[in-house]
Amino acid sequence: MIEKGKISALQMGILMYHAILATGILFIPASVYDAAKQDIWLSPIWASPVGFLCIFIAYKLNKLYPEDTIIQYSQRILGTFLGKTLGLILLLMLVTSLSVMFWQYGEFVVSEFLPHTPKFVIIGMMILLCASAVHGGLEVVGRLAGMVFPIFFLLFLVIIVLLLPDIEIKRMLPIMENGMMPSLKGSLVLYTWFAQFGIVYFFLPFLTNREKAMKFGMLSVLVVMLTLVLTNIVVIWIFGNVTENFNAPFMSASRYISIAEFLSHLESLVMAIWIAGTFIKLCAFYYTVVLGTAEWLNLSDYRPLVLPLGLVIGVFSLKAFLNSSEAAEHFEIVSKGFMDTLVYGLAIPMLLLLAAYIRKLIVRHKGESEK
Amino acid sequence: MKGVYIGSVTVVVVLLFLYQWPKMKSNDRKEKAAFATIAMIGWAAAVVYIIFPEMTSPAKVLDFILVQVRNFIFGPI
Protein backbone atom coordinates (compact mmCIF):
# COMPACT_ATOMS: atom_id res chain seq x y z
CA MET A 1 0.00 0.00 0.00
CA ILE A 2 1.31 3.46 -0.88
CA GLU A 3 -0.41 5.39 1.89
CA LYS A 4 1.00 4.56 5.31
CA GLY A 5 -1.22 6.87 7.34
CA LYS A 6 -4.58 5.91 8.80
CA ILE A 7 -7.64 7.97 9.63
CA SER A 8 -10.69 7.08 11.68
CA ALA A 9 -14.15 6.64 10.24
CA LEU A 10 -15.29 9.81 12.00
CA GLN A 11 -12.52 11.82 10.37
CA MET A 12 -13.53 10.39 7.00
CA GLY A 13 -17.11 11.47 7.62
CA ILE A 14 -15.99 15.00 8.51
CA LEU A 15 -13.67 15.12 5.50
CA MET A 16 -16.54 14.17 3.22
CA TYR A 17 -18.82 16.72 4.91
CA HIS A 18 -16.42 19.49 3.93
CA ALA A 19 -15.73 17.96 0.51
CA ILE A 20 -19.41 18.26 -0.37
CA LEU A 21 -20.60 21.28 1.48
CA ALA A 22 -17.81 23.81 1.13
CA THR A 23 -18.83 25.14 -2.26
CA GLY A 24 -22.43 24.05 -1.94
CA ILE A 25 -23.35 26.26 0.99
CA LEU A 26 -22.92 29.41 -1.11
CA PHE A 27 -23.99 28.41 -4.60
CA ILE A 28 -26.72 25.84 -4.03
CA PRO A 29 -29.63 28.13 -3.01
CA ALA A 30 -29.43 30.30 -6.15
CA SER A 31 -28.90 27.43 -8.58
CA VAL A 32 -31.75 25.36 -7.13
CA TYR A 33 -34.09 28.35 -7.03
CA ASP A 34 -34.50 28.42 -10.84
CA ALA A 35 -36.45 25.18 -10.78
CA ALA A 36 -37.78 24.83 -7.27
CA LYS A 37 -38.87 28.41 -6.36
CA GLN A 38 -39.95 28.64 -2.71
CA ASP A 39 -39.57 24.87 -2.25
CA ILE A 40 -35.76 24.90 -2.41
CA TRP A 41 -35.53 23.59 1.11
CA LEU A 42 -37.19 20.32 0.01
CA SER A 43 -34.70 19.60 -2.78
CA PRO A 44 -31.79 18.40 -0.58
CA ILE A 45 -34.11 15.80 0.93
CA TRP A 46 -34.96 14.42 -2.51
CA ALA A 47 -31.31 14.47 -3.60
CA SER A 48 -29.79 12.80 -0.53
CA PRO A 49 -30.57 9.19 -1.65
CA VAL A 50 -27.85 9.65 -4.29
CA GLY A 51 -25.35 10.30 -1.49
CA PHE A 52 -26.54 7.27 0.49
CA LEU A 53 -26.29 5.11 -2.64
CA CYS A 54 -22.74 6.32 -3.40
CA ILE A 55 -21.55 5.51 0.12
CA PHE A 56 -23.30 2.13 0.04
CA ILE A 57 -21.72 1.12 -3.29
CA ALA A 58 -18.24 2.27 -2.24
CA TYR A 59 -18.63 0.35 1.03
CA LYS A 60 -19.75 -2.85 -0.73
CA LEU A 61 -16.81 -2.64 -3.15
CA ASN A 62 -14.49 -2.08 -0.22
CA LYS A 63 -15.87 -5.22 1.46
CA LEU A 64 -14.95 -7.25 -1.61
CA TYR A 65 -11.45 -5.73 -1.92
CA PRO A 66 -10.62 -4.33 1.54
CA GLU A 67 -7.01 -3.30 0.87
CA ASP A 68 -7.47 -1.64 -2.53
CA THR A 69 -8.68 1.69 -3.83
CA ILE A 70 -10.80 1.93 -6.96
CA ILE A 71 -7.78 2.23 -9.28
CA GLN A 72 -6.46 -1.12 -8.04
CA TYR A 73 -9.67 -3.12 -7.85
CA SER A 74 -10.90 -1.93 -11.21
CA GLN A 75 -7.88 -3.79 -12.61
CA ARG A 76 -8.70 -6.87 -10.58
CA ILE A 77 -12.35 -6.82 -11.61
CA LEU A 78 -12.09 -5.91 -15.29
CA GLY A 79 -8.58 -7.15 -16.10
CA THR A 80 -5.47 -5.07 -16.58
CA PHE A 81 -6.24 -3.34 -19.86
CA LEU A 82 -9.89 -2.41 -19.26
CA GLY A 83 -9.15 -1.59 -15.63
CA LYS A 84 -6.32 0.76 -16.58
CA THR A 85 -8.52 2.46 -19.19
CA LEU A 86 -11.30 2.96 -16.67
CA GLY A 87 -8.78 4.26 -14.14
CA LEU A 88 -7.43 6.76 -16.68
CA ILE A 89 -10.95 8.01 -17.48
CA LEU A 90 -11.64 8.36 -13.76
CA LEU A 91 -8.42 10.31 -13.16
CA LEU A 92 -9.00 12.63 -16.11
CA MET A 93 -12.49 13.36 -14.79
CA LEU A 94 -11.17 14.03 -11.31
CA VAL A 95 -8.52 16.41 -12.66
CA THR A 96 -11.15 18.23 -14.71
CA SER A 97 -13.51 18.42 -11.78
CA LEU A 98 -10.76 19.70 -9.51
CA SER A 99 -9.74 22.35 -12.03
CA VAL A 100 -13.33 23.62 -12.11
CA MET A 101 -13.37 23.76 -8.30
CA PHE A 102 -10.15 25.81 -8.23
CA TRP A 103 -11.60 28.10 -10.89
CA GLN A 104 -14.76 28.59 -8.82
CA TYR A 105 -12.67 29.41 -5.77
CA GLY A 106 -10.55 31.91 -7.68
CA GLU A 107 -13.49 33.54 -9.39
CA PHE A 108 -15.41 33.93 -6.16
CA VAL A 109 -12.51 35.42 -4.22
CA VAL A 110 -11.72 37.82 -7.06
CA SER A 111 -15.30 38.93 -7.57
CA GLU A 112 -16.25 39.34 -3.90
CA PHE A 113 -13.14 40.26 -1.97
CA LEU A 114 -9.92 40.87 -3.85
CA PRO A 115 -10.90 42.50 -7.15
CA HIS A 116 -7.43 43.86 -7.93
CA THR A 117 -5.42 40.70 -7.30
CA PRO A 118 -4.57 38.65 -10.40
CA LYS A 119 -6.32 35.31 -10.42
CA PHE A 120 -3.17 33.25 -10.89
CA VAL A 121 -1.84 34.56 -7.57
CA ILE A 122 -5.00 33.52 -5.70
CA ILE A 123 -5.22 30.07 -7.33
CA GLY A 124 -1.45 29.57 -7.15
CA MET A 125 -1.31 30.32 -3.43
CA MET A 126 -4.19 27.93 -2.77
CA ILE A 127 -2.51 25.19 -4.80
CA LEU A 128 0.75 25.66 -2.88
CA LEU A 129 -1.14 25.49 0.43
CA CYS A 130 -3.07 22.38 -0.61
CA ALA A 131 0.11 20.80 -1.96
CA SER A 132 1.83 21.15 1.40
CA ALA A 133 -1.16 19.54 3.14
CA VAL A 134 -1.43 16.72 0.60
CA HIS A 135 2.32 16.16 0.84
CA GLY A 136 1.77 15.35 4.51
CA GLY A 137 -0.56 12.52 3.59
CA LEU A 138 -4.07 11.44 4.39
CA GLU A 139 -3.60 11.74 8.13
CA VAL A 140 -2.81 15.43 7.87
CA VAL A 141 -5.82 16.09 5.65
CA GLY A 142 -8.09 14.08 7.94
CA ARG A 143 -6.93 15.90 11.07
CA LEU A 144 -7.21 19.28 9.39
CA ALA A 145 -10.80 18.44 8.54
CA GLY A 146 -11.46 17.45 12.13
CA MET A 147 -9.91 20.70 13.32
CA VAL A 148 -11.90 22.94 10.97
CA PHE A 149 -15.26 21.24 11.48
CA PRO A 150 -16.21 22.58 14.96
CA ILE A 151 -15.29 26.16 13.99
CA PHE A 152 -17.11 25.83 10.70
CA PHE A 153 -20.26 24.49 12.29
CA LEU A 154 -20.26 26.92 15.21
CA LEU A 155 -19.82 30.00 13.03
CA PHE A 156 -22.45 28.67 10.65
CA LEU A 157 -24.93 28.36 13.53
CA VAL A 158 -23.98 31.82 14.86
CA ILE A 159 -24.77 33.35 11.49
CA ILE A 160 -28.07 31.49 11.26
CA VAL A 161 -29.04 32.75 14.74
CA LEU A 162 -28.04 36.32 13.92
CA LEU A 163 -30.16 36.18 10.79
CA LEU A 164 -33.26 35.19 12.71
CA PRO A 165 -34.50 38.77 13.39
CA ASP A 166 -34.78 39.42 9.64
CA ILE A 167 -36.80 36.38 8.66
CA GLU A 168 -40.37 36.31 7.42
CA ILE A 169 -41.76 32.80 7.50
CA LYS A 170 -44.63 33.49 5.12
CA ARG A 171 -42.13 33.90 2.27
CA MET A 172 -41.84 30.15 1.99
CA LEU A 173 -45.62 29.76 1.55
CA PRO A 174 -47.35 28.19 -0.27
CA ILE A 175 -45.42 24.98 0.29
CA MET A 176 -45.57 22.74 -2.76
CA GLU A 177 -47.67 25.18 -4.74
CA ASN A 178 -47.31 23.17 -7.95
CA GLY A 179 -46.93 19.75 -6.36
CA MET A 180 -43.67 17.93 -5.87
CA MET A 181 -42.28 18.38 -9.38
CA PRO A 182 -40.52 21.77 -8.96
CA SER A 183 -38.56 20.64 -5.92
CA LEU A 184 -37.73 17.33 -7.63
CA LYS A 185 -36.43 19.22 -10.66
CA GLY A 186 -34.38 21.41 -8.34
CA SER A 187 -32.85 18.31 -6.77
CA LEU A 188 -31.29 17.43 -10.17
CA VAL A 189 -28.73 20.18 -9.53
CA LEU A 190 -27.95 18.75 -6.12
CA TYR A 191 -27.15 15.30 -7.53
CA THR A 192 -23.86 16.86 -8.64
CA TRP A 193 -22.93 17.60 -5.07
CA PHE A 194 -24.25 14.44 -3.47
CA ALA A 195 -22.60 12.23 -6.12
CA GLN A 196 -19.23 13.58 -4.96
CA PHE A 197 -19.64 11.30 -1.94
CA GLY A 198 -18.43 8.62 -4.38
CA ILE A 199 -14.82 9.63 -3.78
CA VAL A 200 -14.85 7.81 -0.42
CA TYR A 201 -13.59 4.84 -2.42
CA PHE A 202 -10.17 6.46 -2.14
CA PHE A 203 -10.35 6.75 1.66
CA LEU A 204 -12.05 3.51 2.76
CA PRO A 205 -8.94 1.26 2.60
CA PHE A 206 -7.07 3.54 5.04
CA LEU A 207 -9.57 3.51 7.90
CA THR A 208 -8.65 2.24 11.34
CA ASN A 209 -12.19 1.11 12.14
CA ARG A 210 -13.57 0.05 8.80
CA GLU A 211 -16.71 -1.59 10.23
CA LYS A 212 -17.95 1.87 11.23
CA ALA A 213 -17.31 3.36 7.78
CA MET A 214 -20.89 2.79 6.65
CA LYS A 215 -22.34 4.37 9.80
CA PHE A 216 -20.22 7.52 9.66
CA GLY A 217 -20.56 7.80 5.88
CA MET A 218 -24.33 7.75 6.12
CA LEU A 219 -24.21 10.17 9.05
CA SER A 220 -22.11 12.51 6.93
CA VAL A 221 -24.70 12.46 4.12
CA LEU A 222 -27.43 13.12 6.67
CA VAL A 223 -25.63 16.10 8.23
CA VAL A 224 -24.88 17.54 4.79
CA MET A 225 -28.56 17.21 3.92
CA LEU A 226 -29.67 18.89 7.15
CA THR A 227 -27.16 21.73 6.71
CA LEU A 228 -28.37 22.33 3.18
CA VAL A 229 -32.02 22.28 4.29
CA LEU A 230 -31.20 24.79 7.01
CA THR A 231 -29.27 27.06 4.62
CA ASN A 232 -31.97 26.95 1.97
CA ILE A 233 -34.79 27.54 4.41
CA VAL A 234 -33.05 30.55 5.96
CA VAL A 235 -32.24 31.98 2.54
CA ILE A 236 -35.83 31.63 1.40
CA TRP A 237 -37.13 33.14 4.66
CA ILE A 238 -34.94 36.17 4.12
CA PHE A 239 -35.02 36.73 0.37
CA GLY A 240 -38.18 35.03 -0.85
CA ASN A 241 -38.69 35.73 -4.52
CA VAL A 242 -35.48 37.66 -5.08
CA THR A 243 -33.17 34.74 -4.22
CA GLU A 244 -32.28 34.20 -7.86
CA ASN A 245 -30.79 37.70 -8.19
CA PHE A 246 -27.86 36.74 -5.97
CA ASN A 247 -24.84 34.77 -6.99
CA ALA A 248 -24.25 33.58 -3.44
CA PRO A 249 -27.41 34.26 -1.39
CA PHE A 250 -26.04 33.07 1.93
CA MET A 251 -23.18 35.54 1.60
CA SER A 252 -25.53 38.38 0.71
CA ALA A 253 -27.83 37.41 3.58
CA SER A 254 -24.98 37.76 6.05
CA ARG A 255 -24.42 41.33 4.81
CA TYR A 256 -27.90 42.10 6.15
CA ILE A 257 -26.90 41.33 9.71
CA SER A 258 -26.73 44.53 11.69
CA ILE A 259 -27.46 44.22 15.36
CA ALA A 260 -27.32 47.33 17.52
CA GLU A 261 -25.34 49.04 14.75
CA PHE A 262 -22.00 47.58 15.81
CA LEU A 263 -22.39 43.89 14.93
CA SER A 264 -22.32 44.14 11.17
CA HIS A 265 -20.26 43.18 8.09
CA LEU A 266 -20.38 39.55 9.06
CA GLU A 267 -19.77 38.45 5.47
CA SER A 268 -16.12 38.24 6.46
CA LEU A 269 -17.10 35.45 8.86
CA VAL A 270 -18.90 33.59 6.08
CA MET A 271 -15.86 34.07 3.89
CA ALA A 272 -13.59 32.73 6.63
CA ILE A 273 -15.57 29.54 7.12
CA TRP A 274 -16.02 29.21 3.38
CA ILE A 275 -12.28 29.45 2.69
CA ALA A 276 -11.51 26.95 5.45
CA GLY A 277 -14.11 24.50 4.11
CA THR A 278 -13.04 24.96 0.51
CA PHE A 279 -9.44 24.36 1.49
CA ILE A 280 -10.43 20.97 2.95
CA LYS A 281 -12.54 20.18 -0.10
CA LEU A 282 -9.72 21.01 -2.51
CA CYS A 283 -7.25 19.02 -0.39
CA ALA A 284 -9.54 15.97 -0.41
CA PHE A 285 -9.91 16.01 -4.19
CA TYR A 286 -6.26 16.91 -4.77
CA TYR A 287 -5.26 13.99 -2.59
CA THR A 288 -7.47 11.56 -4.54
CA VAL A 289 -5.93 12.73 -7.82
CA VAL A 290 -2.37 12.35 -6.52
CA LEU A 291 -2.96 8.97 -4.89
CA GLY A 292 -4.92 7.70 -7.90
CA THR A 293 -2.18 8.73 -10.33
CA ALA A 294 0.52 7.09 -8.22
CA GLU A 295 -1.47 3.87 -8.02
CA TRP A 296 -2.30 3.97 -11.70
CA LEU A 297 1.43 4.16 -12.50
CA ASN A 298 2.28 1.52 -9.83
CA LEU A 299 4.67 3.88 -8.04
CA SER A 300 5.97 3.18 -4.55
CA ASP A 301 5.39 6.75 -3.29
CA TYR A 302 2.92 9.45 -4.23
CA ARG A 303 4.79 12.44 -2.81
CA PRO A 304 6.92 13.25 -5.88
CA LEU A 305 3.72 13.69 -7.91
CA VAL A 306 2.15 16.34 -5.66
CA LEU A 307 3.87 19.40 -7.14
CA PRO A 308 3.80 18.53 -10.88
CA LEU A 309 0.12 17.56 -10.65
CA GLY A 310 -0.48 20.86 -8.90
CA LEU A 311 1.09 22.62 -11.87
CA VAL A 312 -1.15 20.74 -14.33
CA ILE A 313 -4.27 21.44 -12.27
CA GLY A 314 -3.30 25.09 -11.85
CA VAL A 315 -2.85 25.59 -15.59
CA PHE A 316 -6.15 23.93 -16.39
CA SER A 317 -8.04 25.77 -13.66
CA LEU A 318 -6.81 29.18 -14.81
CA LYS A 319 -8.18 28.44 -18.24
CA ALA A 320 -11.20 26.32 -17.23
CA PHE A 321 -13.58 29.07 -18.37
CA LEU A 322 -12.55 32.29 -20.02
CA ASN A 323 -15.30 34.36 -18.39
CA SER A 324 -18.30 33.93 -16.13
CA SER A 325 -20.78 33.59 -19.02
CA GLU A 326 -18.97 30.43 -20.12
CA ALA A 327 -19.13 29.22 -16.55
CA ALA A 328 -22.87 29.95 -16.50
CA GLU A 329 -23.18 27.79 -19.61
CA HIS A 330 -21.34 25.00 -17.79
CA PHE A 331 -23.60 25.24 -14.74
CA GLU A 332 -26.63 25.27 -17.03
CA ILE A 333 -25.49 21.86 -18.30
CA VAL A 334 -24.97 20.77 -14.70
CA SER A 335 -28.50 21.81 -13.76
CA LYS A 336 -29.91 19.36 -16.29
CA GLY A 337 -28.55 16.65 -14.08
CA PHE A 338 -25.94 14.98 -16.25
CA MET A 339 -22.56 15.61 -14.84
CA ASP A 340 -19.04 14.27 -14.49
CA THR A 341 -19.47 13.79 -10.74
CA LEU A 342 -22.40 11.45 -11.39
CA VAL A 343 -20.19 9.44 -13.76
CA TYR A 344 -17.19 9.07 -11.47
CA GLY A 345 -19.10 9.05 -8.20
CA LEU A 346 -21.97 6.75 -9.07
CA ALA A 347 -21.93 5.20 -12.56
CA ILE A 348 -18.37 3.82 -12.57
CA PRO A 349 -18.53 2.27 -9.05
CA MET A 350 -21.95 0.82 -9.84
CA LEU A 351 -20.60 -0.78 -13.01
CA LEU A 352 -17.63 -2.17 -11.08
CA LEU A 353 -19.85 -3.60 -8.34
CA LEU A 354 -22.06 -5.28 -10.93
CA ALA A 355 -19.02 -6.71 -12.72
CA ALA A 356 -17.57 -7.92 -9.41
CA TYR A 357 -20.79 -9.75 -8.52
CA ILE A 358 -21.02 -11.35 -11.97
CA ARG A 359 -17.38 -12.41 -11.64
CA LYS A 360 -18.10 -13.95 -8.25
CA LEU A 361 -21.08 -15.84 -9.65
CA ILE A 362 -19.01 -17.23 -12.53
CA VAL A 363 -16.24 -18.34 -10.18
CA ARG A 364 -18.75 -20.07 -7.88
CA HIS A 365 -20.45 -21.70 -10.87
CA LYS A 366 -17.13 -23.03 -12.13
CA GLY A 367 -16.28 -24.36 -8.69
CA GLU A 368 -19.58 -26.25 -8.49
CA SER A 369 -19.28 -27.74 -11.96
CA GLU A 370 -15.78 -29.02 -11.16
CA LYS A 371 -17.09 -30.93 -8.15
CA MET B 1 4.98 39.75 -23.48
CA LYS B 2 4.30 36.12 -24.32
CA GLY B 3 8.03 35.46 -24.06
CA VAL B 4 8.04 36.75 -20.49
CA TYR B 5 5.11 34.48 -19.55
CA ILE B 6 6.76 31.44 -21.14
CA GLY B 7 10.01 32.32 -19.37
CA SER B 8 8.29 32.57 -15.97
CA VAL B 9 6.48 29.24 -16.45
CA THR B 10 9.83 27.67 -17.34
CA VAL B 11 11.34 29.14 -14.18
CA VAL B 12 8.50 27.60 -12.13
CA VAL B 13 9.12 24.17 -13.70
CA VAL B 14 12.86 24.46 -13.12
CA LEU B 15 12.17 25.34 -9.47
CA LEU B 16 9.95 22.25 -9.19
CA PHE B 17 12.81 20.12 -10.49
CA LEU B 18 15.36 21.76 -8.21
CA TYR B 19 13.11 21.20 -5.18
CA GLN B 20 11.94 17.67 -5.83
CA TRP B 21 14.78 15.98 -7.74
CA PRO B 22 17.32 15.74 -4.85
CA LYS B 23 14.57 14.35 -2.60
CA MET B 24 14.02 11.27 -4.78
CA LYS B 25 16.34 8.33 -4.28
CA SER B 26 18.59 7.44 -7.19
CA ASN B 27 16.97 4.02 -7.65
CA ASP B 28 13.43 5.41 -7.96
CA ARG B 29 13.59 5.53 -11.73
CA LYS B 30 9.84 5.12 -12.21
CA GLU B 31 9.07 7.98 -9.85
CA LYS B 32 11.57 10.21 -11.60
CA ALA B 33 10.10 9.37 -15.00
CA ALA B 34 6.54 10.02 -13.77
CA PHE B 35 7.58 13.29 -12.13
CA ALA B 36 9.38 14.53 -15.25
CA THR B 37 6.54 13.52 -17.58
CA ILE B 38 3.80 15.19 -15.55
CA ALA B 39 5.87 18.34 -15.05
CA MET B 40 6.49 18.46 -18.80
CA ILE B 41 2.78 18.01 -19.52
CA GLY B 42 2.05 20.93 -17.21
CA TRP B 43 4.72 23.07 -18.86
CA ALA B 44 3.51 22.19 -22.37
CA ALA B 45 -0.11 22.95 -21.45
CA ALA B 46 0.90 26.29 -19.98
CA VAL B 47 2.93 27.25 -23.06
CA VAL B 48 0.14 26.24 -25.44
CA TYR B 49 -2.35 28.31 -23.42
CA ILE B 50 -0.01 31.31 -23.47
CA ILE B 51 0.35 31.12 -27.26
CA PHE B 52 -3.34 30.36 -27.93
CA PRO B 53 -5.27 31.95 -25.04
CA GLU B 54 -8.67 31.19 -26.57
CA MET B 55 -8.08 27.45 -26.72
CA THR B 56 -10.67 25.10 -25.22
CA SER B 57 -10.20 23.61 -21.74
CA PRO B 58 -10.66 20.07 -20.38
CA ALA B 59 -13.78 21.21 -18.51
CA LYS B 60 -15.46 22.35 -21.72
CA VAL B 61 -14.35 19.23 -23.62
CA LEU B 62 -15.80 17.03 -20.88
CA ASP B 63 -19.08 19.00 -20.92
CA PHE B 64 -19.29 18.52 -24.69
CA ILE B 65 -18.65 14.76 -24.44
CA LEU B 66 -21.18 14.32 -21.63
CA VAL B 67 -23.85 16.25 -23.54
CA GLN B 68 -23.22 14.05 -26.60
CA VAL B 69 -23.47 10.90 -24.47
CA ARG B 70 -26.67 12.15 -22.85
CA ASN B 71 -28.22 12.98 -26.23
CA PHE B 72 -27.22 9.54 -27.49
CA ILE B 73 -28.86 7.77 -24.55
CA PHE B 74 -31.89 9.90 -23.73
CA GLY B 75 -32.40 11.84 -26.94
CA PRO B 76 -31.85 15.61 -27.25
CA ILE B 77 -33.49 17.81 -24.64
Q: Looking at the predicted structure, is the pLDDT value of residue B57 above 70?
A: yes
Q: Are A214 and A12 in contact (CB under 8 A)?
A: no
Model pLDDT, residue A304: 86
**Residues in chain B within 8 Å Cβ distance of A305:** 34-35, 38
The chain B residue lying nearest A336, using CA atoms, is B77
Three-class DSSP category at A207? strand
The chain A residue lying nearest B15, using CA atoms, is A307
Structural domain containing residue B25? 2-74
Structure confidence at residue B67 as a pLDDT band (50, 70, 90): confident
Q: What are B30-42's pLDDT values in tens digits? A: 888 888 899 999 9
| CA pair distance A232, A22, nearest whole angstrom | 15
Residue among A298, A315, A338 minimizing CB distance to B46: A315
- In chain A the domains, ranked by start, together with CATH numbers, are 9-361 (1.20.1740.10)
Distance to chain A for B8, nearest Cα, Å = 13
**Residues in chain B within 8 Å Cβ distance of A311:** 12-13, 16, 38-39, 42-43, 46
Cβ pair B66:A307 closer than 8 A: no
Model pLDDT, residue B43: 92
Q: What are A162-185's pLDDT values in tens digits? A: 888 878 888 777 777 777 787 888
Model pLDDT, residue A370: 66
Report residues of chain A scoring pLDDT below 70.
Answer: 1, 335-338, 370-371
Model pLDDT, residue A371: 60
Model pLDDT, residue A243: 77
Model pLDDT, residue A222: 92
Residue among A96, A294, A308 minimizing CB distance to B58: A96
Number of domains in chain B: 1
Q: Confirm or reject contact between A93 and chain B (CB < 8 A).
A: yes
